[in-house]
Structure 1
Amino acid sequence: MSWGGIRKGAGRPKQVEIRKNKSIRVFDEEWEIIKPVINLIKKNNKIGRDLLNKNKEHKIMVKDAQFINLTDKDITIYGKNHTTITFPKSGTVAFVKQQDNILDEACVDGCLFDIGKRIYTEVGNVPKPEENIFYIVPVIVAQQLPERDDLLVASNAIKNENGEIVAFTSLNII
Structure 2
Amino acid sequence: MDTAPPDDPLALERQVCFALAVASRNVIALYRPLLEPMGLTHPQYLVMLALWQRAPLSVKELSGLLQLDPGTLSPLLKRLESAGLISRRRARDDERVLAVTLTPTGQDLRRQAELIPAAVFAELGLPMDELLQLHAALTRVIEVTQKVGPDAP
TM-score of Structure 1 vs Structure 2, range by shorter chain: under 0.3
Which has more strand, going by share of residues?
Answer: 1
Give the structure with the larger helix fraction.
Answer: 2
Work out which of the two has the higher radius of gyration on C-alpha atoms and give 1 or 2. 1
TM-score by length of 1: 0.22
